[in-house]
Structure 1
Amino acid sequence: MLLVTGATGFIGSAVVATLHAHGHPVRAVVRDPARADVLPDGVERVAADLADTESLARAMDGCEGVFHLAAAVGAPGPEARELNVGGTRRVVDAVRRAGVRRLVHTSTSAAICVPDPGGPGCVVDEDAVGGTALTDTYSATKAEAEAVVLDAVAEGGLDAVVATVVNAYGPSPRGPLSYDQLLAAAARGAVGDIVDTRVGWTLAEDVAEGQLLAYTGGAAGRRYVLCGEVASFPEVLDTYCRFAGSEHRVRVLPQGSELGPDAPPFADRSVVYGKLGGYRVRDDGARALGFAPRGIAEGLELTARWMPGA
């Protein structure tokens, strides 16, 4: 049995679907029963709270593996720290109490975006140490959460791997959330300006496959970066517009630029990464596990077909 926290979220629901499709029995942590409609038939539902170690341990009873995806995105500082850091610490404690064999902790490229020793900008490196160059609450608390897991491996013998997700988009049982919102806004003509900076992009479905690879073949204490392709925000948005049949094209701003207050959700990430000079990715470990994600062109075409009316 495999347990998934954040099971009804954008990526979590894709992970549940993938595990189920591969024949694994899955138990999904569900806080809001109204959101459980995205879960496949045959997936067990269980109530648990990241604020309560005992409820987590009970939910994990009889489980061989745990995929921890629940996280606070866009929450105020204290709330984000309580869920992302405190919640992860309680997941680690519950894994130990329940005798779970392996934990897959889902992190983000924003947690390991460090200055690039090989040139300008930053690098998202599977071997990165020392946190992140990003200072926003989400990035900082996810970096702290990752440290909780890796410290438990180094000091307490926990069997855990970290699956680091770059900007996720594309089909998900949860629907068009995350960067899909930015893609759809561009196709509607609602994205005027965007900063010209390069970051990684990965289909949610491919992220889920990468999580399973990390679980089955990853080495304890290792981080695996799940990245499809590095491309600029303008390239991604304009390519999506073409596949969606939209004539709209974004106006490109240089790195270091700001966007107006009416910028759509996730457009501000081009500003954040633009101030760092963008980033490149080192993901040799994930590729060695057999991770073979689709590139931008294939992924965006698939997304345009899946997201009609965008």
Structure 2
Amino acid sequence: MLLVTGATGFVGSAVVTLLHERGYAVRAVVRDPARADVLPDGVERVAADLADGESLARAMDGCEGVFHLAAAVGAPGPEAHELNVGGTRRVVEAVRRAGVRRLVHTSTSAAIAVPDPDGPGLLVAEDAAGGTALTDPYSATKAEAEAVVLDAVAAGEVDAVVATVVNAYGPSPRGPLSYDQLLVAAARGEVGDIVDTRVGWTLAEDVAAGQLLAFTDGEAGRRYVLCGQVASFPEVLDTYCELAGSPHRVRALPEGSELSPDAPPFADRSVVYGRLGGYRVRDDHARALGVTARGIAEGLEVTARWMAAVSA
């Protein structure tokens, strides 16, 4: 039995679906029953909360693995810290108490983006010492949460791996959320300007496949960066517009530029990374593990077809 927290979220629902399709028995943590309609038939639902360690331990009873994806995105500092750091600490303790064989902790490139020693901008690397150059509550608390997991592995308390996700987009049982919202806005002509900075991109489906590989074949205490391709925001948005049959194109602003306050969701991430020069990725361990995440040309084509189907 495999337990998934954040099971009804954008990436979490993709993980649940993949595990179910691969024949695993899956138990999904569900806080809001109204959101459980995205889960496949046959997936067990269980009520648990990151704020309640006892409920987490009960949910993990009899589980061989735990995929921890639940997180607070866009929450203010104290709330982000309580859920992302405190919640992860309770997950780790529950894993230890329940005797779970392995924890897959989902992190983000924003948690390990540090100044690149070999050039301008940032580096996202699997051998990063920890910490991040980003100062927003989400990035800072995810960096701290990752340290909680890796410290527990070093202390011999749990067996765990870290799956580091870059900008996730594409088909998901949850629907067109996350960076899909920015793609849709661009195709509608609602993104006039975007900062021309380079970051990592990966399909939610490929994140799910990478997480499963990390669970089955990963090395305890190791970080695996799940990235399809590093590309600029304008390149990604214009490519999607072309594939979606949209005449709209964005105007690329130089790094360090600002966007208007009414910019669409996730457009502001181009500003954040643009101030720091974007980032490059080192994901050798994930590639050696067998992760074959698709690049933006194929990934955006898949996304455009899916988006057309779900909006029909």
TM-score, shorter chain, exceeding 0.5: yes
| Aligned partners of 2:88 and 2:145 also within 8 Å | yes
The aligned residue for residue 275 of structure 2 is 275
Q: Give runs of aligned pairs for residues 154-165 of structure 1, distance below 5 A.
A: 154-165=154-165
The aligned residue for residue 108 of structure 1 is 108
The aligned residue for residue 31 of structure 2 is 31
Amino acid at match of 1:229: Q
Per-residue deviation at 1:157? 3.6
Per-residue deviation at 1:130? 3.4
Amino acid at match of 2:201: W
The aligned residue for residue 298 of structure 1 is 298
Amino acid at match of 2:251: R
Amino acid at match of 2:273: Y
The aligned residue for residue 126 of structure 1 is 126
| Aligned partners of 2:96 and 2:157 also within 8 Å | no
Amino acid at match of 1:116: D
Q: Deviations over 1:1-30 (max 9, x none)?
A: 000000000000000000011110000000
The aligned residue for residue 17 of structure 1 is 17
Amino acid at match of 1:286: A
Per-residue deviation at 1:147? 0.3
Amino acid at match of 2:46: V
Indicate the larger mover: 218-227 or 149-158: 149-158
The aligned residue for residue 90 of structure 2 is 90
- SS of the residue aligned with 2:272? helix
* TM-score, with structure 1 as normaliser: 0.99
Matches of 2:205 and 2:130 in 1, distance apart? 30
The aligned residue for residue 6 of structure 2 is 6
Alpha carbon RMSD of aligned pairs, Å?
A: 0.8
| Aligned partners of 2:49 and 2:55 also within 8 Å | yes
The aligned residue for residue 141 of structure 1 is 141
Aligned residues: 310
| Aligned partners of 2:130 and 2:147 also within 8 Å | no
Q: Which runs of 5+ in 1 are unaligned?
A: none
- SS of the residue aligned with 2:155? helix
Matches of 1:262 and 1:301 in 2, distance apart? 28
Matches of 1:300 and 1:235 in 2, distance apart? 11
The aligned residue for residue 211 of structure 2 is 211
Q: Does 1:263 align with 2:263?
A: yes
Matches of 1:228 and 1:157 in 2, distance apart? 32
Q: Give runs of aligned pairs for residues 115-264 of structure 1, distance below 5 A.
A: 115-264=115-264
Q: Percent identity?
A: 87
Matches of 1:296 and 1:23 in 2, distance apart? 29
- SS of the residue aligned with 1:236? helix
| Aligned partners of 2:67 and 2:106 also within 8 Å | yes
- SS of the residue aligned with 1:156? coil
Matches of 1:219 and 1:43 in 2, distance apart? 28
* TM-score, with structure 2 as normaliser: 0.98
Per-residue deviation at 1:158? 1.4
- SS of the residue aligned with 1:299? helix
| Aligned partners of 2:54 and 2:94 also within 8 Å | yes
